[in-house]
Amino acid sequence: MQNDTDSRLRRVRGPVQPKRHNARTIAALTSNPGCARRGVCDAAGVDKDALAGRVGFPARFGQSQFAITRGNAFEAQVKANGCAELLTLLREVLHLDITEVGYTDLEEAGGNDSQDVRHAYSRRTLLAAAAGRDDAGTLFDHPLLRMDVAGNGVYLEPDLIAFQYAGIFHVIEIKSFAVIDGQADGGKVASAAIQSAVYVQALRTLLGSDDAVSSDIVLVCPKDFSNKPCATKVDVRKQLIVLQHQLNRLARIDALLDALPAGVTLDLAKDDAGQPVLSRAELVQALGCIEARYSPECLASCELAFFCRDEASGQTAALGKSVREELGGVETVATALGLAAGSLLPSDEQAEITALLRAASRIYRESVAAA
Amino acid sequence: MSAITSYARAVAVAEQAAQPIATVRHVHLADRPLVFVPLTLAGEANAPLAAMVGTSEDQPTLLVVPQPRDRDQRFAFAGELADLVVGYLNSCCGAADEIKGQVCYRAAPQLLVPNPAGIGFVKLFGRSTRFRSTTGPYAVTPHVPLLGRWLTWFAERAEHPGSANLLAMTELLSMHWATGQSAVEDANLAAQLGWISPPPGRTGPQAAREAEDPLRWPPAGPTTDPVFDNEILAPAIRSYSGTEPGSPGQARAVERLRHVLHGQLEPTWRLMWRGLAKLRELEPGASVEGRWINDRLRFTSFQEYVVNGGLPQARRDGAIAAARRLNRLERAQVEYDVARALDDPLVMANHRAAGEAFLGTVVEVERERRITNANGNSVTRPLVVLRTGDPVLIGRGAEVKAVSRQSQKAVVVSVDRQDDAVLVTLEMQSGFGRSKTPPPGSVPEDGETLVYTSVLSDSIPSPRLPDAEDTPWTHGGPPQPYVPSDDDATEVWE
C-alpha cells in the first residue's frame, strides 16, 4: 500500500529529485491544512518554487544575505568551543549544576550521508543516550529526524541541538531575532515555537516516548541590541496540540490522490534538448485539477500563493477570512452583491444571510448618500 | 472588520476602485507634518540603514549609514536625525494658549511613517538611544538621548487611540477607504494607494498588481527587498568597506550608496505625500479638533518635562502604572470609537448594520406622559415611537442617545418586530426642562428622522488601583524607581 502511494506520488512529481521538507514547511503546512493542492505538492516533494515560476507567478520569497550572515554568525558564536556559551545559558535556564557535558555531532554517520543511514545513526545514538540515564548531559548537534506528514514520511534536517540530561531531552532552537527588554517580535516567537514543536514531536516519535522529550523548549536569541545570547524557556504544549491535531486532520494523502483524475502530473523535468516536458498550459491545467484553499495568509508562506490568488480573484475568500464570514460565507463577490441587490434570488439556506446583506447594502448606500 | 466594510470591499472588487468607509477625516493633519521613511539592515536588531525625512515633499533630507554594522556610524545617524527632529519639535514651541488651565502650544508635532512597522522602528530606535550618555565612554552628542526620549514619547502616543502625533499611512488610509483586496495586501502602501488613487488609465486592481513589483515600487520599509539587498546593497557596502577613510574612492562609494538608497526610498516618499493629499481632500470630523488639543497638551507637558531634565522613560512599566495606562487606553479607544460614529454616518452605519444603532422616523409622540417614579413623585417622561428598517438588536432597558440630540438620554421601553419594519418605543429621560409640558422642540417631533445609538462612552468602569508603593507581591511588589546607570549608557549595540 505504501509502495503504491509512493509510486503515485512519484508520478505526480515526475522523474525529478523530491524537494525536502523542513520544520518551516511543516509548520506552514499546518497553517492551512485544508489545502489539497499544497498537501499533494508537499507530500510528492514537488518543487513549488520552480513550479510557481513555470506557471508565471514566481514566488517572492528571498532571504537577504545580511540576515543569513547574521543568523549564521550568531549560531556559530553560540556553538563555538563545544557550545561553551550555550552551556552557561542552559545551566541558568534549566537550573543545572553540572559542569561538563558531552557534545556529539550527528551530521556525519561514518562518512555516509544517505538520509536513511543518518537517521538510523541518530536514532541509535539518541536511544542509547535515553536508555543510559546517567546524570551527565550531552548535546546532540544536527540529529536527522523523521516525521509522518499526510501519510508520508519526511526527513527533517534541523540545525537544532537536542540536550539530554537525566534521560530527558530538551530541544534548543537558536534564532537571531533580538529579545529587547525581555520582549521579542510576537510573530517571530510564534513561528519559532511551532517549528520547535515540530522537532519535539519528531524527537518523541524517534524515541518512542512522549515523556522523554520536554515540552519546554529553550529559545536562544541575541539580547537587546547586542550579540550576547540569552535563553528563554518556551512552553510549546499548545503548539504540540495544534500540530498533532492538524497533522491528524490533514486528509490522508491517499484520499487526496484518489480524488485526482488519472495521470495528473506536475512534472518539471526537461527533455534531452533542455525543453520542459510539460508546457505552461499543461501545468496550469494539472494544478487546476488539485483543489486549493487560498487565503491571503498564504502569501506569506506558500510559494504557489500568487498563482492561487489569481485563480481565486472574485472569490470572497481572497479578501480574507473575516470578510468572507461577514459576507455570510457566500462563495463569490458577484453572488454576495447579487443577493444584496436583489438581482439574485436566495436559496432557502441563503435567506438569512441575504437579509443581512441587503441591510448592509441599504445602510451603506444611505450613509454614503447622507454625507 | 464589520459587515459594512466587508460589503464595501465587495463593492470595491466589482467597481475595481476603492470605496469610502468614512465621509469625514477622523484624524487631524498638521499643516507641517514630519514625514519619516526609515530603512533598516536585514537581520540586525533595528540597525538603521537609511531614512528620508522632511516637512516638504520637494525637500526631503536623505540620511544614510554607509556601514550599518558600525556602531559609531549608527550614532552619527542618530545625531543627524536628532538635529532634524529636535529642530522640528522646536518649531512647534511658538505661540501658546491656555486650555483647561494649562499652557498649551498652538502647534504640536506630527510624525508620519508608512506603516505599523515604521512605528515599531520609532519605538525601538527610541529605546536604543534614550539611555545614551553624553559623557564618558561611548559619548554621543546631546541631541541623541533627547531624540530617544522624544521617539519613545511618539511611540507611546501612537498606542493612544485617537492621538495624531505619530501615525502610519497604511492605517490612516484603511480607516477611510475599503479596497478590493485583503487587509494583508493593504499593508503594502503602494498597492493600497493603487486601489485608492490609481494613476490615470489604470483600474485599482491593475495599479495594485503593478505596485507589488519591488523593482518599481520598493517595499515601504523598514525592511528592504532581499533582492535589492543581495544584488545592489551588498556590493555597494562592500566597495565602501574596501576604501580608505577620507579617500576620493570612499567619497565615491558613499555617493553610490546614497544613490541606490535614494532609489529605494524616493517612491515611498512620493506615496506618503500622495496619501496625505488624498486624506486632505476630506473635511475633518467634528471631534477631530478636540483630540488634537489633547495631543497639543500632551506635547506641551512632555516638552516641559524634557526641558526640566526629566529622566528617560523606564524600560518596563511597573504593574500599577501598566494597569493604569491600559485602563486609559481602553477608555480612549471607546471614546474614540463613539466620537467617530457620532461624527460620521458611514461609521455609524457599522453600528446600524450590527443592530447597535438604528435610523428611524418618529411615528408617534406622547409628550405629556406623566409617571410615578421610584420616590413616589409624579414626573414627565415623554414616549417616542420610531419606525425603522434597520436590524435592531438593542434590548429593553438599554440606554440610547440620538446623534442629533446628544444631551438627551432615552431608554428603550419596547421593541416591536413587524413584517417589514421594527417599532422602537423610547422613554425620554432628560433634556426637556422641568415644566409639566415639555417645550416645543425639546422632544423629537412626529415625522422627524433620527439615528439612535446604544454605543455610548460613559459606561466604562475604572478599576480602583493601589498606589505604586502598595503594589502587591503577586505583581512583583513595589517597583524599584528607575535610576539611570552607566550600564544603560554603555549598552552594547553590535
* H helical segments located in chain A: 2-13, 23-29, 36-44, 48-54, 65-93, 115-132, 186-207, 237-249, 253-258, 280-289, 305-311, 321-326, 333-341, 351-370
Contacts A363 to B, Cβ<8 Å: 4, 349, 352-353, 359, 390
Cα A41–Cα A42–Cα A45 angle in degrees, nearest 5: 85
Helix (H) or strand (E) holding B54: strand B48-54
Beta carbons within 8 Å of A183's beta carbon, 6+ residues apart: none
Helix (H, G, I), strand (E, B) or coil at A227: coil
Q: Using pLDDT thresholds of 50, 70 and 90, give the confidence band for residue A3.
A: low
Maximal C-alpha separation, chain A: 79
Chain A CB within 8 Å of residue B286 CB: no
Question: Nearest CA to B81 among B108, B51, B110?
Answer: B51
Q: How far is Cα B380 from Cα A97, in angstroms, rounded to an integer?
A: 79
Look up residue A124 and give its amino acid.
R
Give the residue with greater pLDDT, B344 vs A139: B344
Q: How far is Cα A368 from Cα B29, in angstroms, rounded to an integer?
A: 23
Contact residues, B window 332-361, toward A, CB-based 8 Å cutoff: 344-346, 348-349, 352-353, 359
Contact residues, B window 206-225, toward A, CB-based 8 Å cutoff: 214, 224-225
pLDDT at B208: 94
Q: Which residue among A227, A314, A370 places its CB closest to the CB of B494?
A: A227
Lookup: cell for B92: 512647534
At residue A324, does pLDDT exceed 90?
yes
Q: Do B44 and A70 touch (CB under 8 A)?
A: yes
pLDDT at B486: 61
Q: Do A363 and B42 touch (CB under 8 A)?
A: no
Q: Do B7 and A226 touch (CB under 8 A)?
A: no
Question: Nearest CA to B414 among B400, B402, B424?
Answer: B424
Q: Do B346 and A371 touch (CB under 8 A)?
A: yes
Q: Do A326 and B7 touch (CB under 8 A)?
A: yes
CB-based burial label for B310 (10 Å; 0-12, 13-18, 19+): exposed
Helix (H) or strand (E) holding B64: strand B61-64
Neighbours of A152 (CB within 10 A): 20
Q: Using pLDDT thresholds of 50, 70 and 90, give the confidence band for residue A134.
A: low
- Select the residue from B1, B5, B6, B41 to test the A interface by mutation, using most A Cβ atoms within 10 A: B6
Beta carbons within 8 Å of B13's beta carbon, 6+ residues apart: A314, A319, A333, B180
Q: Which residue among A180, A227, A322 places its CB closest to the CB of B124?
A: A180
CA dist list (Å): B306 to B102, B153, B294, B311, B345: 17, 11, 18, 8, 41
Which residues in chain B come in under a pLDDT of 70?
A: 1, 458-461, 481-494
Q: How far is Cα B66 from Cα B50, in angstroms, rounded to an integer?
A: 9
Contact present, B410 and B426 (Cβ < 8 Å):
yes
CB-based burial label for B59 (10 Å; 0-12, 13-18, 19+): exposed
Lookup: cell for A25: 514547511
Q: Do B7 and A364 touch (CB under 8 A)?
A: yes
pLDDT at A261: 84
Helices and strands (H and E) in chain B: how many: 15, 17
Min distance A165 CA to chain B CA atoms (Å) = 32
CA dist list (Å): A13 to A27, A257, A264, A268, A279: 22, 12, 9, 8, 15
In eight-state DSSP terms, residue B230 is I
Give the whole-number percent of chain A exceeding pLDDT 70.
93
pTM: 0.90
Q: How many Å is the Cα radius of gyration of chain B?
A: 27
Beta carbons within 8 Å of A206's beta carbon, 6+ residues apart: A122, A123, A126, A127, A143, A145, A146
Contact residues, B window 395-434, toward A, CB-based 8 Å cutoff: none
Contact present, B111 and B33 (Cβ < 8 Å):
yes
Give the residue with greater pLDDT, A41 vs B271: B271
Contacts B8 to A, Cβ<8 Å: 364
At residue A251, does pLDDT exceed 60?
no
Q: Which residue among B3, B205, B227 places its CB closest to the CB of A62?
A: B227
Q: Using pLDDT thresholds of 50, 70 and 90, give the confidence band for residue A1.
A: very low
Min distance B463 CA to chain A CA atoms (Å) = 27
Chain B CB within 8 Å of residue A323 CB: yes
Contact present, B54 and B60 (Cβ < 8 Å):
yes
Chain B CB within 8 Å of residue A56 CB: no
Q: Which residue among A316, A320, A359 places its CB closest to the CB of B390?
A: A359
Q: Which residue among A71, A226, A355 places its CB closest to the CB of B493?
A: A226
Beta carbons within 8 Å of B468's beta carbon, 6+ residues apart: B318, B320, B321, B478, B479
Residue range B427-483, pLDDT digits in tens: 999 888 888 888 888 899 999 999 999 988 766 667 777 787 788 887 777 777 666
Q: Do B13 and A314 touch (CB under 8 A)?
A: yes
Mean pLDDT of A306-324: 94
Min distance B59 CA to chain A CA atoms (Å) = 31
Contact present, A316 and B180 (Cβ < 8 Å):
no
pLDDT at B67: 93
Beta carbons within 8 Å of B445's beta carbon, 6+ residues apart: B362, B365
Q: How far is Cα A80 from Cα B102, in angstroms, rounded to an integer?
A: 59
Q: Do B3 and A360 touch (CB under 8 A)?
A: yes
At residue A109, does pLDDT exceed 70?
no
Domain ranges in chain B are 3-313, 343-453
Residue range B154-207, pLDDT digits in tens: 999 999 999 999 999 999 999 999 999 999 999 999 999 999 999 999 999 999
- Select the residue from A66, A313, A327 to test the B interface by mutation, using most B Cβ atoms within 10 A: A66
Min distance A115 CA to chain B CA atoms (Å) = 31
Min distance A116 CA to chain B CA atoms (Å) = 34
At residue A110, does pLDDT exceed 70?
no
Q: How far is Cα A256 from Cα A244, in angstroms, rounded to an integer?
A: 19
Contact present, A96 and B259 (Cβ < 8 Å):
no
Min distance B293 CA to chain A CA atoms (Å) = 26
B34-40 vs B111-113, strand pairing mode:
parallel
Cα A293–Cα A297–Cα A303 angle in degrees, nearest 5: 75
Can you state the angle between helices B319-343 and B288-307, rounded to 10 degrees?
Answer: 150
Chain B CB within 8 Å of residue A179 CB: no
Can you state the angle between helices A2-13 and A36-44, rounded to 10 degrees?
Answer: 100
CB-based burial label for B246 (10 Å; 0-12, 13-18, 19+): exposed
Contact present, B306 and B256 (Cβ < 8 Å):
no
Phi, psi of B17 (to 5 degrees): -155, 150
pLDDT at B422: 94
Min distance B268 CA to chain A CA atoms (Å) = 19
Contact residues, A window 328-357, toward B, CB-based 8 Å cutoff: 333-334, 336-337, 340, 355-357
Q: Do B346 and A357 touch (CB under 8 A)?
A: no
pLDDT at A300: 86
Q: Do A318 and B230 touch (CB under 8 A)?
A: no
What CATH number has the domain spanning B343-453?
2.40.30
Q: Do A360 and B1 touch (CB under 8 A)?
A: no
pLDDT at B484: 64
Contact present, B35 and B48 (Cβ < 8 Å):
no
pLDDT at A145: 87
Lookup: cell for B379: 414626573
pLDDT at B108: 94
Q: Do B224 and A64 touch (CB under 8 A)?
A: yes
CA-based torsion, B97, B99, B105, B111: positive or negative: negative
Chain B CB within 8 Å of residue A314 CB: yes
pLDDT at B51: 97
Chain A residue with Cα closest to B421: A359
Contacts A177 to B, Cβ<8 Å: 45
Q: How far is Cα B272 from Cα B49, in angstroms, rounded to an integer?
A: 19
Lookup: cell for A183: 520582549
Cα A27–Cα A30–Cα A34 angle in degrees, nearest 5: 155
At residue A152, does pLDDT exceed 70?
no
Give the residue with greater pLDDT, B459 vs A357: A357
Mean pLDDT of A94-113: 74
